[in-house]
Structure 1
Amino acid sequence: MNRFLLKQQLADFFSEDIGYGDITSNAIFKDEQGEGVFVAKAPGVFCGEEIINAVKELYPELGFTLFVRDGESFSAGKTLLKVKGPVTCILSTERVILNLVQRLSGIAAMTHEAVSRTAGTQVKISDTRKTTPGLRMLEKYAVRCGGGINHRFGLDDAFLIKDNHIARAGSVTTAIKKAKQAGGHMVKIEVEVENTDQVKEAVAAEADVIMLDNCGPQQAADWCKMIPSHITVEISGGVTISQIEAFTQTGADVISIGALTHSAGSVDISLDILVKERTSYV
């Protein structure tokens, strides 16, 4: 997590929402102090600790108490955190905090469910670059909170030779050769394959990672038998949660799922301002 970038992002998000001031809260509450609690209305896996820590730096007048940590599961009715400070500040920051924590906790929960389907195997669940523009760092962090791993963060992380690269280059072999010539020893080369001939080419050209794209479990298992153990095998392309267990039996090392970040639902969480002091929390 790049905490400097996160702080900058949050400042922009708050600026977008607050503008020149929360006229409703400022008119009603003036200098009143208060407390509020963020309560889960549905189960999930928490992802928001880093956000709260950054909010503390931007709004030192707010005090937060966390009752869950990143990566912890929670049930409906659970009090996730408590906030104390100026009521106007609590209410003006509420929406940005909720939007992010709800979104990220949903991603973490979906990832946790996907990872649970790999129990008893060495297969890892990975995300993709199918993230919300501007939120990639946070959404990929949420995947980690759910027990998954991250694929490349951007086009500059690693070589990933896809179908259009291969079509334009003329062959898998040519594309890998050019990538090897351009890249340094620290940068891995992954190639996406769609048929048996491409699998053979990728192995012969010594790709570091071979992605089996848009294939069923049986086809994947057949191709995995052709790939030496020192080459990492990734399965990708429309894999659903219900298919994970079948794919874990193919011999692949990684299953990447774009839906973790592009289709996860948000967890319902609300902020309740306390009218009188609570003495205990769920």
Structure 2
Amino acid sequence: MSAPVAPPDAAVVAANVAAALAEDIGPGDATALLLEDAADEAYLLCKEDCVVAGRPWFDACHRALDPAVRIDWRCAEGDRIAKGTVIATLQGHRRALVSAERASLNFLQTLSGTATTTARHVDAVRGTGAAILDTRKTLPGLRVAQKYAVRVGGGSNHRMALYDAVMLKENHIRAFGSVAAAIARARALHPALPLIVEVETLDELRQALDTGCTRVLVDDFDPAMRREAVRIAKGAPYHGRIPLEVSGGVDMASLRAIAEDGVDCISIGGLTKHVHAIDFSLKLGPPPPA
């Protein structure tokens, strides 16, 4: 299991779930109305190896339709689960169990997919000291959820959105004429916000290090340039005070080598953009014998 992660904001979970149930059920579940609304039980089956994430959203879907439903989890958030494992049992009203099924599984499969992909990247750089970061390339409306799943998978969050950090990229720097001028303007207008500066050359790197910022992003540097950037940032007079982030052109084949070059963090849009949903099933009835 990964280190414990702070629970997601309950209001965000509730809003996500309300939108999902409205989308799926609308004025009513026509098929569930065919069923006798008796007490029943169900079990949740994991059908491929994964890191589980999304329990708060799964639970909220079922409790929105049946506040008295009992959900007994056999795993913790962040646990690595083997294919074929029953990970939870539920007891509640039959109609509510089947009506909440798809929305609850959609959250669980998506967020477990994000956590599983993140864990794979974290495993690949283990021992190097490099952190794995996400990006803003998230599914619309599910940014908080996916960034939570990244943390469950052992990764770290980049800025949440455009309001909580300043990130000077190529177009911003071009508009000001230099890295130093762009940084000066950002510090004057937003002195309390983290400041991330993207550089494209070693000269821009030195400008960023000299002027000062929270982190420098070296975007699409080739291996030789990347290693020289690390040498500059960690040597005198900078001594590694400003972390280096790598972004762009990162895949599993190159990830370990990038981390071993000595960079501090690697941001990867694919953690949340290239979602491989994990296969789960919710089945009515008692779980099969262990």
| 2: CA distance, partners of 1:13 / 1:52 | 11
Give, in angstroms, the shift of residue 56 of structure 1: 5.5
Residue correspondence of structure 1 range 84-163 to structure 2 within 5 A: 84-163=91-170
When the two chains are superposed, the root-mean-square deviation of aligned CA atoms in Å is: 1.4
Match of 1:271 in 2: 282
Q: Deviations over 1:156-200 (max 9, x none)?
A: 111110111111221111110100101133x22110011112112
Q: Deviations over 1:105-133 (max 9, x none)?
A: 11111110100011212111010111111
Match of 2:5 in 1: none
Residue correspondence of structure 1 range 1-282 to structure 2 within 5 A: 1-27=8-34, 29-55=35-61, 57-58=63-64, 59-185=66-192, 187-227=193-233, 228=238, 229-274=240-285, 277-278=286-287, 280-281=289-290
Aligned length in residues: 277
Mapped contact 1:48–1:101 kept (Cα < 8 A)? yes
| 1: CA distance, partners of 2:88 / 2:225 | 47
Match of 2:3 in 1: none
Code of the aligned partner of 2:100? T
Q: Deviations over 1:237-282 (max 9, x none)?
A: 13112211101122211111000000130111111111xx44744x
Provide the TM-score with structure 2 as the length reference.
Answer: 0.91
| 2: CA distance, partners of 1:103 / 1:13 | 13
Mapped contact 1:56–1:63 kept (Cα < 8 A)? no
Mapped contact 1:3–1:54 kept (Cα < 8 A)? no
Mapped contact 1:41–1:269 kept (Cα < 8 A)? yes
Structure 1 residues 52 and 158, CA gap change in structure 2 (3 angstroms): same
Q: Deviations over 1:87-121 (max 9, x none)?
A: 11011100011111001111111110100011212
| 2: CA distance, partners of 1:217 / 1:46 | 35
User: Tell me, what secondary structure is at the counterpart of 1:226?
Assistant: helix
Percent identity between the two aligned chains: 33
| 2: CA distance, partners of 1:130 / 1:155 | 12
Structure 1: any 5+ residue segments left out of the alignment? none
User: Tell me, what secondary structure is at the counterpart of 2:281?
Assistant: strand
User: Tell me, what secondary structure is at the counterpart of 1:211?
Assistant: strand
| 2: CA distance, partners of 1:236 / 1:172 | 18
| 2: CA distance, partners of 1:246 / 1:56 | 44
| 1: CA distance, partners of 2:109 / 2:288 | 26
| 2: CA distance, partners of 1:278 / 1:117 | 35
Structure 2: any 5+ residue segments left out of the alignment? 1-7
Mapped contact 2:41–2:89 kept (Cα < 8 A)? yes
Mapped contact 1:37–1:83 kept (Cα < 8 A)? yes
Give, in angstroms, the shift of residue 55 of structure 1: 3.5
Structure 1 residues 278 and 262, CA gap change in structure 2 (3 angstroms): closer
| 1: CA distance, partners of 2:197 / 2:225 | 17
Further displaced range: 168-177 or 137-146:
168-177
User: Tell me, what secondary structure is at the counterpart of 2:260?
Assistant: coil
| 2: CA distance, partners of 1:137 / 1:22 | 28
Give, in angstroms, the shift of residue 53 of structure 1: 4.0
Code of the aligned partner of 1:10? V
